[in-house]
Amino acid sequence: MEKKLLLVDVDAGVDDAAALMIALAAPNVEILGITCCFGNATVENVCKNVLRVLKKCNHLQIPVYQGASSPLLNTMKNDYFYGTDGLGDVADDDAPGFDQVQREHAVAAIIRIISERPNKVTLVATGPLTNLALAVKMDPMLPKKIKNMSIMGGNMYSRGNIDICAEFNFAADPEAAYIVLNEYTCPTFITTWEFACSHSLPWEFYEKCTSQDSEKARFLKAIYAVTIEYQKRPIPKLRALYRKPGFVSCDCFAMAVAINEELVTESIFCAVSVELTGSHTRGMMVLDMDDNLQKENKVSVTKELDMEKFKGLLMAALK
């Protein structure tokens, strides 16, 4: 079977770490490179976090590139949901050195890697979309060279997690999200914040998965400790209407779709955009259900996923 070629853009982030581990364990996947953006931590910390994950998974040969350190326009948002360093503030005296980060800038690497393999590469984005926005501005033909793209971000029903109506990745750089959703014309899959909330995994499964006798399982359980404390707090009554109790790892869903889009069993196919000016809705993803925008390119917004196969990917990642 021909390997699926992935180029992954992250703001790692515990969720990104888990998503990377899924891809690294998948037998039909080859990661060509990992580009880093600010988000869950500073971009320097994100690079270090990616290197830590690669070392735990014995894949330090995969090149890591440093990218955008701040949004295109607005001030950065961060709630340190994954700890101040993005990986649960778990000390690691044996972490790889920053000298292992490539000298080539992430944006240049995105353009080069995709251009060298036209229509062969799946682009996966699990953080703010700043690197991707800069790449399309440098090479407007880039989207025509991408096989497809899987994004974790945005929302379907105007529910936010960092703002009232905006999800973190899009709210962190709304202009970048707007550029990507309006200028990337390749086939695109989006898994939203609300989708992840309504497809949480039972805590029994999380314990079974992270209690496997492996270095990877122990690593993931350690870095998730801070986040799990947040996730196990009582869910406010109104949020409980869409947030199921249990373990949520948003970025893993986008990675699962990138590895095998057939895992999506139901989706909304429509044009989307991003609100830039609303006082309460800046960064919110807009679904054009009635085709009022008359946009040629449409995206697939995931509504349902084969959860048993998804759980299988997560279990396999930590073996």
Q: Which residues are catalytic?
A: 11
- Residue 288 dihedral angles phi and psi, to the nearest 5°: -90, 75
Place of tokens 């869409």: 242
Encoded amino acid at 114, one letter: I
Residue 122's alpha-carbon distances to 53, 102, 173, in angstroms, are 21, 21, 22
Q: Which residue has the tokens 């914040």?
A: 193
Contact 150, 124 (CB under 8 A): yes
φ/ψ of residue 268, rounded to 5: -100, 125
| Contact status, residue 170 vs residue 153, Cβ threshold 8 Å | yes
Decide if 209 contacts 253 (C-beta within 8 A).
no
Q: What is the largest CA-CA distance in the chain?
A: 55
